[in-house]
Chain A
Amino acid sequence: MNRIKVEGKHKDHQILMYAISTCNWCRMTKQFLRDLGVEYEYVDVDLASKGDQELIKQHIQRHGGDLRYPTIIIDDKILITGFRKEQIKEALGL
């Protein structure tokens, strides 16, 4: 799966974001994470292969999430759906 890594000075958490390449809320979430200075990886689900999309679906559902984007999974434990600035900051302790 093609995960794109965005460098940041805060590397305390493993942050994985599933996004849609055309989605403005996803774009705003990517920008928000960049502005926070956290390192994260993302996958644009619409550009992924069918096989990878199935894996993404399973990953999200395993964490009890809905199939909507952006979905952020922090340390493979906390799942946040949508552009939720306060929830993201709280989960990252920022």
Chain B
Amino acid sequence: MTTLKEVRQRAEADAKMHGYALNPDEEMLQGILKGLKRNEERYGYPSCPCRLATGQLEKDRDIICPCDYRDPDVEEYGNCYCALYVNQEISEGKAEVQPIPERRPPQKLEQAYTSGGPDSAPEPAAKPAVVSSASETNLKFWFCKVCGYVCFREEPPHKCPICGAKQEMFSEILLGMNWMTR
């Protein structure tokens, strides 16, 4: 069984790697870490403690901590949805964590109420992630000009998780799709 210490170490390592910090309010932090531990125990993976999970991995994948919404949330509001991850400003006490709007799409939120839960029939094998239209997401490919690390997200990370280069060292990769129509 995962211990609270392990949950914390994992979060600390991820925060450090991506240029974030953990919530500086120790009481809040403990509450969030306990929630993650509880979810790992009951679902088998640490889904966001503040969201209703289905218990089915494929449906909950986007809310497994760190969730798919963390980076744009920290970028826009300074903290993620559950407030586990914060930016440097909050970490240094210059700003406070705040409850933020939900970025997860409504149809994803609805699915927890229509799924049969972890005991129901297994879902079909996962299909590859396909972005159906450019307007559905603002995700882009970015590469670190120092080490070549590539990521797929709205904005480049504050810090390269591989070599530690600053955000300014990232460039967008513009994909030419003309070859598909030739």
Asked whether A83 lies within 8 Å of B35 as measured between CB atoms, the reply is no
Residues of A within 8 A of B31 (CB): 24, 27
Instruction: List 20 A-B pairs, Cβ < 8 Å.
Output: A20-B49, A20-B50, A20-B52, A22-B36, A22-B49, A24-B49, A24-B50, A24-B82, A25-B82, A25-B99, A26-B50, A27-B31, A28-B28, A50-B113, A54-B113, A66-B102, A66-B109, A67-B110, A69-B52, A84-B99
Which residue of chain B is the closest to A57 with respect to CB atoms?
Answer: B113
Asked whether B35 lies within 8 Å of A24 as measured between CB atoms, the reply is yes
* Count of chain A residues near B, Cβ 8 A: 22
- How many A-B pairs have beta carbons closer than 8 Å: the answer is 60
Which A positions have Cβ atoms within 8 angstroms of B? 20-28, 45-46, 50, 53-54, 57, 66-69, 82-84
Residues of B within 8 A of A23 (CB): 35, 49-50, 82
With A45-B52, A66-B102 as contacts: A22 and B39 at CB distance below 8 Å: yes
Asked whether B35 lies within 8 Å of A22 as measured between CB atoms, the reply is yes
Chain B nearest Cβ from A53, distance in angstroms: 5
Asked whether B50 lies within 8 Å of A53 as measured between CB atoms, the reply is no
Q: Please tell me the size bucket of the interface on B.
A: 20 to 34
Partner of A53, one of B28, B35, B83, B113: B113
Residues of A within 8 A of B44 (CB): none
Residues of B within 8 A of A28 (CB): 28
Partner of B28, one of A24, A50, A66, A84: A24
Asked whether B35 lies within 8 Å of A67 as measured between CB atoms, the reply is no
Asked whether A67 lies within 8 Å of B109 as measured between CB atoms, the reply is yes
Residues of B within 8 A of A82 (CB): 99
Chain B nearest Cβ from A30, distance in angstroms: 11
